[in-house]
């Protein structure tokens, strides 16, 4: 019986380590340029949740002719934050509510780009989300 052994081309350990080191260096160079995009993508969460609060407040206003200062009254449940083993990066609160107007705020609990500034968004009774503090 003649068996032919086929040799399979592959990479050795040194070649793999060199490739991984090059990829790591490229990531370190590219990551600072991507931080604004990461922060912008995470701020979409705040805008979406603030729009949900706005819609719930408007519905409450149409029913009771005033705005509410409590999430339980408007049937809004704030998502669990990453500190509470959830997925949300923002904490939500209604900072002002009266018969004619309201203001809700989303404050980041994580410093997305590591500069010590936390992202803050607000929405008012007009439904326009505004970035108060940029991260």
Q: What angle do CA 50, 52, 34 make, to 5 degrees?
A: 50
pLDDT of residue 126: 92
Model confidence pLDDT, tens digit, residues 53-65: 999 999 999 999 9
- Cα–Cα nearest to 107, from 127, 83, 72, 85: 83
CA atoms within 13 Å, Cβ hemisphere of 59:
11
pLDDT in 10s for each residue of the chain, 135 residues: 677 777 778 888 999 999 999 999 998 888 777 777 877 888 899 999 999 999 999 999 999 999 999 999 999 999 999 899 998 999 999 999 999 999 999 999 988 877 888 999 999 999 989 999 887
Question: Do 90 and 109 touch, CB atoms closer than 8 A?
Answer: yes
What distance in Å separates the CA atoms of residue 57 and residue 102, rounded to the nearest whole number? 8
Domain assignments of the chain as residue spans, ordered by start: 13-133
């Amino acid at each position: 019986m003649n068996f032919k052994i086929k040799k399979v081309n592959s990479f050795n350990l040194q070649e793999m380590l060199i490739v991984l080191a090059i990829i790591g260096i490229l990531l370190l160079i590219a990551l600072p340029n991507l931080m604004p995009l990461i922060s912008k993508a995470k701020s979409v969460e705040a805008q979406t949740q603030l729009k949900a609060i706005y819609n719930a407040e408007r519905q409450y206003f149409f029913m009771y002719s005033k705005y509410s200062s409590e999430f339980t009254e408007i049937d809004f449940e704030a998502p669990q934050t990453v500190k509470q083993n959830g997925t949300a990066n923002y904490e939500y609160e209604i900072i002002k509510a009266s018969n004619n107007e309201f203001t809700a705020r989303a404050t980041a609990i994580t410093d997305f780009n590591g500069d010590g500034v936390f992202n803050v968004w607000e929405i008012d009774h007009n439904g326009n989300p505004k970035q108060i503090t940029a991260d």
